[in-house]
Amino acid sequence: MEHHSNIVPWQIACEISGAKLRVIPINDAGELLLDEYAKLLNEKTRFVSVVHLSNSLGTINDVKKIIALAHQVGAKVLIDGAQWAAHFPTDVQDLNADFYAFSGHKLFGPTGIGVLYGRAELLGKMPPYQSGGDMIESVTFEKTTYASPPSKFEAGTPDIAGVVGLGAAIDYVQSIGFDSIHRHEQMLLDYATEQLKSIPRLRIVGTAKDKGSVISFVIENPPIGSLDIGLALDRDGVAVRTGHHCCQPVMERMRISSTSRASFAMYNTRSDIDALVASLRKLVAANVSAKKSTAAPSEVVYPSAVAASPEAAAEELAEVFAMLDDRETRGEYVIELGQKLPNYFDLLKQVTPRVPGCMSEVYLVPRKDSDRLEFVADANADIVRGLIALLEKLFSGQKAKDILNFDIESFFNRIGLDQFISTQRRNGLAGMVSRIRHEAAAIGGA
């Protein structure tokens, strides 16, 4: 259930040091299996790092017990408290943590600032990780001695404005009081859980007994992609987070590609939850009607070329986008393209691996026709299906060499793609383009 920020640095450290990364398993409710964790610990264990409150599932981990078990074998422990710090009091001495970290913007403060606590004796033994002004005690050309922690780790001019802003945010939260915050958020969590469970086809992902005010969910049978859920809610003025939440391993463990996530804080109300539930009910009802009218084709039809070249196809598409006034209209047009795409998802999923890098599930099947590339693709989100439709219009049925020579980024800039497609969706789009170019290169012998 760890955020990528508590996975990737340890993978890099393992590559450098030769250490081995071992993972604590979780159950279907999204709870750490602490009995299995205890079995992983031995005299070779050097470091344990775990999230306090999961951003993707809402699970609250028993970090005090995790720390105590690690200390029994001499291991040091870092706790990722980014999600915890804004909702509950944090006593690092009571936890007996060696290191504890949290970010400012999760605590209603500025971005780009955070806190790292470390035991004084441990920080004193550690060398500085960067050099510069104000982290020194004395400097000569022969030798430099370093200041005591924390100055030793704060090279250069600090983020003074960020520190002041974070301090103000902490004062604000403490003025309200964590007891009041927790009571209010628990009420919202209980109410939202009860209401969301009543929505047909909606399944909550992460059902730990001890949870923070986070609810991740999917809509299944038939599925509605999390990106489509987010766009539909946005049109009704409801903001949720969609995707894998920088937690791809837990998505794989739960056998899903992404979720929609509603996060509740002290400023939310029951009426916010009522708006969320009403919008989801409307979406589910509309989706049922749409599915009844769009049966899956019995066979795959590969799209032929819509123009003499990718450049000619791009000109036609660019003219259409030029007539669309704003980003909302352009986004709606892409979604409409996706809704018209043949429903090959279940069929393609059985015969080809998922395209890597995409936030949603994308499957693409190419075939060679002389010196040309044809392909079909599908995804579990209409906005992504719309991007697939664009790529099919540009490339399917075109000569491989023309595909490779086409400047796709210039085309995307021309139609203002960045105005209505998020960075994460662009990453998925890049994955699809890479796959198409790879197939074209195989045909062209490049």
Q: Which of 14, 246, 247, 358 is catalytic?
A: 246
CATH number of the domain located at residue range(s) 4-113+159-175 in this protein: 3.40.640.10
The neighbour count for residue 286, using CB atoms within 10 Å, is 12
Residue 289 is predicted with a pLDDT of 59
Q: Over range 40-69, report the average pLDDT.
A: 97
pLDDT of residue 445: 61
Between CA 413 and CA 417, with CA 414 as vertex, the angle to 5 degrees is 50
Three-state SS annotation for the chain: CCCHHHCHHHHHHHHHHCCCCCCCCECCCCCECHHHHHHHCCCCCCEEEEECECCCCCEECCHHHHHHHHHHCCCEEEEECCCCCCCCCCCHHHHCCCEEEEECHHHCCCCCCEEEEECHHHHHHCCCCCCCCCCEEEECCCCEEECCCCHHHCCCCCCHHHHHHHHHHHHHHHHHCHHHHHHHHHHHHHHHHHHHHCCCCEEEECCCCCECCEEEEEECCCCECHHHHHHHHHHCCCCCEEECCCCHHHHHHCCCCCEEEEECCCCCCHHHHHHHHHHHHHHHHHHHHHHHHCCCCCCCCCCCCCCCCHHHHHHHHHHHHHCCCCHHHHHHHHHHHHHHCCCCHHHHHHHCCECCCCCCCEEEEEEEECCEEEEEEEECCHHHHHHHHHHHHHHCCEEHHHHHHCCHHHHHHHCCHHHHCCHHHHHHHHHHHHHHHHHHHHHHCC
Task: Domain ranges for the chain, please list them.
Answer: 4-113+159-175, 178-293, 310-444
Question: In the CATH scheme, what architecture does the domain 178-293 have?
Answer: Alpha-Beta Complex (3.90)
pLDDT of residue 326: 84
Q: What is the mean pLDDT of the chain?
A: 93
Catalytic-residue membership of 246: yes
If 0-12 CB within 10 Å is exposed, 13-18 middle and 19+ buried, where does residue 175 land? exposed
Strands of the sheet containing 362-369, edge to edge, are 362-369, 372-379, 398-399
* Predicted pLDDT of residue 298: 73
Looking at residue 332, its pLDDT comes to 87
What average pLDDT does the segment 14-24 reach? Answer: 96
Residue 61 near residue 50 (C-beta atoms within 8 A): yes
The 10s digit of each residue's pLDDT in 384-429 is 899 999 999 999 999 999 999 999 999 999 998 877 676 666 777 8
Least confident of 87-101, 127-141, 184-198: 127-141
Residue 341 exposed, middle or buried by CB count within 10 Å (0-12, 13-18, 19+)? buried
Q: How confident is the model at residue 299 (pLDDT cuts 50, 70, 90)?
A: confident
Return the pLDDT at 419: 75
pLDDT tier at 296, thresholds 50, 70, 90: low
pTM value?
A: 0.85
231-240, 242-251, 283-292: the lowest-pLDDT one: 283-292
Q: What is the pLDDT of residues 154-185, one digit of tens each?
A: 999 989 999 999 999 999 999 999 999 999 99
Q: Give the pLDDT confidence of 216-229 residue by residue, as tens digits.
A: 999 998 889 898 89
290 has a pLDDT exceeding 70:
no
Q: Give percent of the chain with pLDDT exceeding 90.
A: 79
More confident residue, 135 or 421: 135
Residue with tokens 């030769």: 18
- Assigned CATH topology for domain 310-444: Sufe protein. Chain: A (3.90.1010)
Read off the pLDDT of residues 340-390 as tens digits, 9 standing for 90 and up.
Answer: 999 999 899 999 998 887 778 899 999 999 999 999 999 988 888 999 999
